[in-house]
Amino acid sequence: MMSKKGILVVSFGTSYPDALIKNIQAIEEAVGNAFPGLTLRRAFTSRMIIKKLKERDGVRIDTVSEALESFLDDGFTDLIVQPTHIINGTENDRMLADLAAFQNRFHSIRVGNPLLTDQSDYHVLIDALTGEFSGLGDDEFLVFMGHGTEHHANAVYPALDYMLKAGGYENIYIGTVEGYPDLRLVKELVRKKAPKKVLLAPLMIVAGDHARNDMAGDDADSWKNEFLREGYEVSCILKGLGEYEEVRKLFTEHAKKSCEIV
């Protein structure tokens, strides 16, 4: 039987068209360019976002299972699956469970790692982030908003923060919306240093709903307004991790390492 290989890039998803293009599509293109000649397709894990895109825009995005069925229908025998997840958390676990149900229906399914898996991945991300904000002044603090989770993979966020401090970046902090460290703790830590200005940026693949509302929104409990009430000047940078070339390269490397195809 002749083999037919394809690539599936799996993302949580976003309902913001500009964020989709700048982040998810940019990662997909980077991964696809590393495997010329192979068919690349997209899947989202968020059924809420899939539903919203269909109802609002008439755009249909496959779930992981639907994408796998479409590959089978078109005669594909071997797949490379690359998630754009940051951590090996709940969304990645769900994706792996979906893939496991199809394992015996393909000749092979090779899966790349999420962004932060090996220790070397942390260093690549830290270099990318600190390079982007290399002009940070002594009286400026940079706070990244991660998503956070009850999953044990949330340990990635405090580990990343610890590594930043170990690298001498005393004015960069990692916080999360739904995990640890939370905003209350980050505010306490920043308060002790009393900077003049706080910059807020998402530690998420896309600068989507969390970044635009929870971080930079006008609601009283947004991170922007929480820090404004603390008396700092506040600036919000709406740039998702998918916009960083080093991040796109890292996902591409993960995809390459998952298989013998180079």
Catalytic residues: 147
| Alpha carbons 77 and 95: distance in angstroms, whole number | 19
In this structure, the number of other CB atoms found within 10 A of the CB of residue 219 comes to 9
| 3-state per-residue secondary structure call for the chain | CCCCEEEEEEECCCCCHHHHHHHHHHHHHHHHHCCCCCEEEEEECCHHHHHHHHHHHCCCCECHHHHHHHHHHCCCCEEEEEECCCCCCHHHHHHHHHHHCCHHHCCEEEECCCCCCCHHHHHHHHHHHHHHCCCCCCCEEEEEEECCCCCHHHHHHHHHHHHHHHCCCCCEEEEECCCCCCHHHHHHHHHHHCCCEEEEEECCCCCCHHHHHHHCCCCCCCHHHHHHHCCCEEEECCCCHHHCHHHHHHHHHHHHHCCCCC
> Is the dihedral angle over the CA atoms 29, 31, 35, 37 positive or is it negative?
negative
- CA 216 – CA 209 distance, rounded (Å): 10
